[in-house]
Chains A and B, each alone.
Chain A
């Protein structure tokens, strides 16, 4: 008998089947992911976890005897009311067959399916792309990384590709029929074995052949300079794998908790999204009233502040932080601004100037989210006046700046708006926005 310990086998044998299944059920899983992401808190939106698929969608069809329908004749023994041979009329339709087990004894409930974090985020952010123009500064020309790129015939001895060199040498030796040492040795042995005078002729032949082979060995080198190969490396510019995300928010009195919540959800989505694209993502929080300051996350979202609203202060603060810590040469800069749209009227021009001259040239993408009150209802036909910031920014976007803006009133709109902002699109469309 033979005992084998199979526990040591590599796991994940079923991974290919799982991927096939996910591909098959993709549309349903995607739907389930979107539904489940609506119900879960956005903070752990990227946590992965269970989604529920309807059983019908991943049904495997099978041929089996139907539990109902068709013509059925039963032969039953008699009892006190009937004797054998009586026919019993069919019960009135609608009675149904009573309870009926599923044919294979295996009920198909809604299908619970646990997704890993990566699978979840993949589906969650599927089809989203950083806008084309974000590739402006994807590579940093100064730093390079070296990649293996085949073999070359010259190089430094440290990069000698020994295997490749010996392989070339071997094939050349075979091609040119360089005698092997064993062949020479065999000849020598044979010559030594001949001792009698009657073998003299044979000996001469062998000695001549040995001499010929030795000459050939001398002519064809074991390793020729032709054989030598070196590992080749190619320098490619190193991608900038880090991004910084600026969260700008108006925290003046007019921003309600609800608005801040909306803004937060948007920031979190953006954070998840960037984190998937860049190895290292830093977040800077800048809040502003009539003056701006960089704060930590806790303060940013929770600490109340009152004052007027001067948006340009936030941009100035952002500019200061960029100058100080995040040089656009080394960082991909993204900014998301959330505001209810109010701004001091006299500040609009300054804001626009700052944005176009300083901020936008440094940024990969600038998203402006105008949060409204959930309870705001407008009578039909009533056209809402665009806010100060909206009007200001519309003017900038028309010039084709890497910038987009959307209005959001309810929590459920956040994700669609986010998708809209980052949906894959053509270059022309981005510019036209």
Chain B
């Protein structure tokens, strides 16, 4: 029966199990809809299948694939691991990184349906957002982020060699305390002061004078 169906009519997958072939096929179908029909503008995709431990790794280094070493990451890893093992906390189905190519981590435990959803959500939805959101465009650099992370890791490592781990750790602790205040993302429009009001008024008047047509 199924042999008589042509490829387009065949279901993408028939069971919960997935294979790399399945993922490839799902991705192709999603690509058709997302890019060809909806016209999303995306970075090229790179999909990486990871296991539990790697997901916990990613958790502890705020989702980044490579990161410098710090005790707090070890702490977060230990806590997440303990919570996960006690069944008190599930793990994310995916993590997507704002880089070019856009890296999406998908969990090996996901079912085929879940993988499809996750790819559509992360590899196309988030990806499009990363590339086109004005704040992301302004504040992030997808092309350079992986190189930058690598540089940061190596730089901190070299600092540790030069100044000792204790000194670097102290500095990083202080920096981490400020971590959530990194970028002032939402500049408000400035209220006009008197001088700029006057200037604007003058410019308007000049403009009006220029275009003044006494015929009318």
> Is chain B found bound to chain A in the same assembly?
yes
What mask results when residues 70 to 83 of chain B are scored 1 for a CB within 8 Å of chain A, else 0? 11111101110110
Determine if B16 is an interface residue (Cβ-Cβ < 8 Å). no
CA gap between A68 and B204 in the complex, in Å: 49
Question: What distance in Å separates the Cβ of B27 from its nearest Cβ neighbour in chain A?
Answer: 5
**Number of residues in B with C-beta < 8 Å to the partner?**
45
| Segment at the interface with B among A108-116, A162-170, A309-317 | A108-116
Question: What distance in Å separates the Cβ of A62 from its nearest Cβ neighbour in chain B?
Answer: 5
CA gap between A185 and B216 in the complex, in Å: 96
Determine if A93 is an interface residue (Cβ-Cβ < 8 Å). no
Determine if A375 is an interface residue (Cβ-Cβ < 8 Å). no
Q: Are A21 and B46 in contact (CB under 8 A)?
A: no
**Number of residues in A with C-beta < 8 Å to the partner?**
32
- CB contacts under 8 Å to A, within B48-64, are 48-51, 53-54, 56-57, 60
Given A3-B20, A5-B20, A58-B75, answer yes or no on A63-B177 (Cβ-Cβ < 8 Å). Answer: yes
| Segment at the interface with B among A9-17, A123-131, A404-412 | A9-17
Determine if B23 is an interface residue (Cβ-Cβ < 8 Å). yes
**Chain A at the B interface: mostly helix, strand, loop or mixed?**
mixed
Q: Are A60 and B72 in contact (CB under 8 A)?
A: yes
Determine if B10 is an interface residue (Cβ-Cβ < 8 Å). no
Q: Are B74 and A6 in contact (CB under 8 A)?
A: no
- CB contacts under 8 Å to B, within A1-28, are 1-7, 9, 11, 13-14, 16-25
Determine if A64 is an interface residue (Cβ-Cβ < 8 Å). yes
Question: What distance in Å separates the Cβ of B152 from its nearest Cβ neighbour in chain A?
Answer: 15
CA gap between A359 and B124 in the complex, in Å: 78
Number of CB contacts from chain A to chain B under 8 A? 112
Q: Are A7 and B51 in contact (CB under 8 A)?
A: yes
| Segment at the interface with A among B142-150, B178-186, B188-196 | B178-186
Q: Are B108 and A7 in contact (CB under 8 A)?
A: yes
Q: Are B72 and A21 in contact (CB under 8 A)?
A: yes
Can you list 28 residue pairs at the A/B interface with Cβ under 8 Å? A1-B24, A1-B31, A1-B47, A3-B47, A3-B48, A3-B49, A5-B20, A6-B54, A9-B54, A14-B56, A14-B57, A14-B60, A14-B73, A14-B74, A17-B70, A17-B71, A18-B77, A18-B78, A20-B71, A20-B165, A21-B72, A22-B74, A60-B176, A60-B177, A61-B177, A62-B179, A112-B79, A114-B85
Given A17-B77, A63-B181, 15 other A-B residues pairs in contact with their CB atoms under 8 A: A1-B44, A1-B45, A2-B47, A5-B48, A6-B50, A14-B77, A17-B69, A18-B78, A20-B70, A23-B71, A25-B71, A58-B75, A60-B72, A111-B78, A111-B79
A residues whose Cβ falls under 8 Å from a Cβ of B: 1-7, 9, 11, 13-14, 16-25, 50, 58, 60-64, 111-114
B residues whose Cβ falls under 8 Å from a Cβ of A: 20, 23-24, 27, 31, 44-51, 53-54, 56-57, 60, 69-75, 77-79, 81-82, 85-86, 101, 105, 108, 123, 165, 169, 173, 176-181
